[in-house]
Amino acid sequence: MNQTESGPILTSDGIPLKVSLKKAERINKIRAFLLVLPLLAFILVTFLVPIGDMLARSIDDRQINTVFPKTFEVYKKWDRQGLPSEEVYKTMFFEVKNSEGYDIGKASTRMNYSKSGWKSLLKKSKRKFKKIEEGPYKEQMIAAEKRWGDIEYWKALGQMVDPTTMGYYLNAVDLKYDSSKNIVQQKENRRIYNKTWFKTFKVSVLVTFFCLILAYPISYLLATLPLKYSNLLMICVLLPFWTSLLVRTVAWMVMLQQKGVFNNLMVMAGLIADENRWQLMYNQTAVIIVMTQILLPFMVLPLYSVMKTISPTYMRAALNLGASPLHAFYKIYMPNSIPGVSAGCLLVFIIAIGYYITPELVGGKDGQMVGNWIAYHLKTTLNWGLCASLGAILLAVMTVLYWAYNKIVGIENIKLG
């Protein structure tokens, strides 16, 4: 050691060792970065940006502000006690009259979420306003459409003044703003989401549970059988995996419907009467049965790969030490298979909670899950804000689950192989 004790360690040409090391490794770092760059760009474009966009959409309320910017300016001065002033009516009049039909269509859809009736009001007004030549506008507007004189409509506009809104999230849990922007429950007959959330959790938990019960023995067998048998069994497990999801689901429809294979067999065997055939299709039972079958490989594979690493001598040692086979299994084998169990459960639960196609096909009215509502609003009502908030809640639930799992079991205990 020829350097002073306090100074940094130097290389033989006098540069501090750390600087020199960084320099030497920089090229490696750049190379590594360049190697992952394509994937990084891909993920950014196809994953992070869309998710960001979705999260933004769930609170975004700017669109309406671009259609009625001046109205909202003057609206803010209104005291909300009685109808707004002539100035508000006037700006609204011109902005409705001069706007593009496309813009006002989209804006009116949004306004309709706050108070139904806005859409038709604007549609009719746009036509009728053409006849109004000069002011004052307030009376003429009310005369043309008497809803312009209804204070509730004007109050509802207040929910849209801010460029962001929590309205979609409230909607996703059966709440809403009332006309004075207080959070209240949806009307009794419009409360659907809380029930759906509960149902989604119930189905996901049950599917995870049944998958675990069915997969555990199979995985054990797979992990302990000699290779030539276990390969065959593995193919049996994976074969459904290679079949189209739709084909499998439709096959289940054939199996489970009232005049289907299963009911026919039961009737033929005399176990149930012909007129009392079981209702196994188009309800939650169907969703649970079919999803369990479809998601089973996602439980088997992590379980199997963990069990494969549990040495059979552990069980032998436990027996040798005097434990009964059952006790040995419970005390030695099961604890060692926990990483596989948790990985499988987490995987199955996460896939199940956002499942869409199976409930759609076999769920009927009773078996619809959150995923189905997302699809419904995405395709039918075009309420993308609500879709985004439902999706964001799903994402949050999974993140919380993952966090809780990490706290309780520890993420390093997950093993997929």
Partner 1 sequence: MADKEQFVRFEKVDKSYDGEVLVVKGLNLDVPKGEFLTMLGPSGSGKTTVLMMLAGFETPTSGEIYLDGDPISSIPPNKRGIGMVFQNYALFPHMTVKENLAFPLEVRKMQKSEIDEKVSNALAMVELQDFGSRMPLQLSGGQQQRVALARSLVFEPRLILMDEPLGALDKNLREQMQYEIKHIHERIGITVVYVTHDQSEALTMSNRIAVFNDGKIQQISTPDVLYEKPDNSFVAQFIGENNQLKGKVKSINGNSCIITTDSGEDINALKVNINNVGDVSTISLRPERVAINSTEQFENVFEAKVKELIYLGDHIRTRVEVCGNDQFIVKVPNSYKDSNLQEGSTVKLSWKTSDSRALDLG
List interacting residues with partner 1 (CB under 8 A).
311, 313-314, 316-325, 327-328, 331-332, 335-336
339 vs 385, beta carbon nearer partner 1: 339
3-state secondary structure of 167: helix
Can you tell me the distance from the alpha carbon of 110 to that of 371, in angstroms, rounded to the nearest whole number? Answer: 22
Contact present, 121 and 153 (Cβ < 8 Å): yes
Collect all residues with Cβ–Cβ distance below 8 Å to 332 and sequence separation of at least 6: 314, 315, 317, 318, 323
Collect all residues with Cβ–Cβ distance below 8 Å to 195 and sequence separation of at least 6: none
Q: Which is nearest to 364 in space by CA: 288, 283, 292, 289?
A: 283
Minimum distance from residue 225 beta carbon to partner 1 (Å): 16
Minimum distance from residue 307 beta carbon to partner 1 (Å): 14
Q: Can you name the residues that pair with 256 across neighbouring β-strands?
A: none
271 vs 326, beta carbon nearer partner 1: 326
Radius of gyration (C-alpha) of the chain in whole angstroms: 31
Minimum distance from residue 325 beta carbon to partner 1 (Å): 7
141 vs 332, beta carbon nearer partner 1: 332
20 vs 336, beta carbon nearer partner 1: 336
Minimum distance from residue 217 beta carbon to partner 1 (Å): 21
Minimum distance from residue 349 beta carbon to partner 1 (Å): 24
3-state secondary structure of 329: helix
231 vs 311, beta carbon nearer partner 1: 311
122 vs 332, beta carbon nearer partner 1: 332
Minimum distance from residue 384 beta carbon to partner 1 (Å): 49
Collect all residues with Cβ–Cβ distance below 8 Å to 38 and sequence separation of at least 6: none
Can you tell me the distance from the alpha carbon of 277 to that of 262, in angstroms, rounded to the nearest whole number? Answer: 10
